Amino acid sequence: MAGMFRDIFLFKDYFKMRSLFLLVSLASVLLYLSRAFGLVASYPPSFFGPPSMANLLGGVIFGVGMVLAGGCMVGTLYKMGAGNLVSVFAFLGILCGGMLFAEFYPADMSFIKATTFLKSKTALEQIVGAMWMPVLALVLISCFCLYRWSRGKKLVQNAYAQRYLDPWKVAVIMAFIFSLSYVLSGRPLSVTKGYANLSARIEGLFSPRHMDNLPFFKEDSLRFFYGTTIKESVGSDINSLTITQIPLIVGIVLGSFFSSARLKEFKISDLPPWRQIFSAIVGGIMMAIGALMAGGCNLWHIIGGLPVFALQSILFVCGITLGAYMGSHILKRVVI
């Protein structure tokens, strides 16, 4: 997903962004239908709180980070699974970023408290009065755009990699997977707190007493299954993250490994230039801090929150766009 935003600013290339637009639009329709048929009970989703400037600022930090790291939090996992060392450094950066965020978590909470607005509103439908209005507007715009893109053959591009899957096909599959996640668990897929859980475990190995004293690892909780809040800490050994997000993280890495091995493309890559290593680590740290500040990464906000018009996610997308613009300039002038 990093490339979708970055390529617009670096190369004026909108190819991948078209698929993201398709994904969000289709997911929005599927979720609206799921709600109409009573398959999704909690609406607007209770795990999206009222918006604050932390969503915007977190989005900016995340946007810069994902461009510098060469991939988002999920992209980092699948590239790492195929043996790429740039992504291994980005992954280590994300884990370090989780530890750093835990240090200033109380300040982040104060910032959220001070900058939260529309305190009783979490989704656009509470402002416009009905969910069907933004969905209908999105559907009409999507139909118009998709018609033009398919006529102009702008949804497909020649790629020579073996077994290359067109991004628009991936978008359709992802829209169904995310909708299914909403229906089955009442929440979208996410990896952010799974990463934070890994950070806590690693910090716990080296400095257990310090880790135990960090409020972020102790106090945070996860809303789960139709808004029911499970009181548990991000840093505990066994919690809902252990059975949801950690398996997703491991699954993406393993899936990528088996896929690349099957194509005979798995290889531990050579070390990239030191500037790219440094950029990947810094980018990873920024991604983790940005995602934890904003209450979720791009997966959570763009594929999970945007289709239900969560206000937090709308702010996050504004932030990530600005961040990707800034990150692209930094990458071009300093890193490459």
Partner 1 sequence: MEDIVLDIRGQICPACLLITLREINNSKLQLKRRETRLVVRTDHRDATRTIPGAVFAMGYDVNVVKKGGYYEITLEYKNG
**Contact set with partner 1 (CB under 8 A):** 3, 6-7, 10-11, 13, 15, 70-71, 79, 84-87, 157-162, 164, 264-267, 269-273, 276, 331-332, 335-336
CB of residue 227 to partner 1, shortest distance in Å? 39
Q: Is 300 left (phi over 0), alpha (psi -120 to 50) or beta?
A: alpha
Token duo for residue 257: 């490994």
Residue 60 backbone phi and psi in degrees, to 5: -65, -50
**Contact (Cβ atoms closer than 8 angstroms) between residue 75 and residue 1:** yes
Beta carbon nearer to partner 1, 23 or 112 = 23
DSSP 302: I
Cα 239 from Cα 182, distance rounded (Å)? 20
Q: Which of 129, 148, 166 is nearest to 23 (CA)?
A: 166
**Contact (Cβ atoms closer than 8 angstroms) between residue 22 and residue 142:** yes
CB of residue 70 to partner 1, shortest distance in Å? 5
Strands (E), the chain: 222-224, 228-230
CB of residue 334 to partner 1, shortest distance in Å? 12
How many of the other CB atoms lie within 10 Å of CB of 8?
18
Beta carbon nearer to partner 1, 137 or 159 = 159
CB of residue 81 to partner 1, shortest distance in Å? 13
Amino acid at 317: V
Beta carbon nearer to partner 1, 214 or 331 = 331
CB of residue 155 to partner 1, shortest distance in Å? 13
CB of residue 257 to partner 1, shortest distance in Å? 14
Beta carbon nearer to partner 1, 13 or 232 = 13
Beta carbon nearer to partner 1, 10 or 200 = 10
CB of residue 329 to partner 1, shortest distance in Å? 12
Token duo for residue 168: 């628009």
Beta carbon nearer to partner 1, 204 or 272 = 272
**Contact (Cβ atoms closer than 8 angstroms) between residue 20 and residue 7:** no
Beta carbon nearer to partner 1, 139 or 261 = 261
CB of residue 66 to partner 1, shortest distance in Å? 12
CB of residue 195 to partner 1, shortest distance in Å? 20
Token duo for residue 306: 């945007």
**Contact (Cβ atoms closer than 8 angstroms) between residue 319 and residue 125:** no
Beta carbon nearer to partner 1, 111 or 266 = 266
Residue 153 backbone phi and psi in degrees, to 5: 50, 40
How many of the other CB atoms lie within 10 Å of CB of 306?
22
Query: For the chain, how many residues are written?
Result: 336
Contacts of 12 (CB under 8 A, 6+ apart): none
Beta carbon nearer to partner 1, 43 or 266 = 266
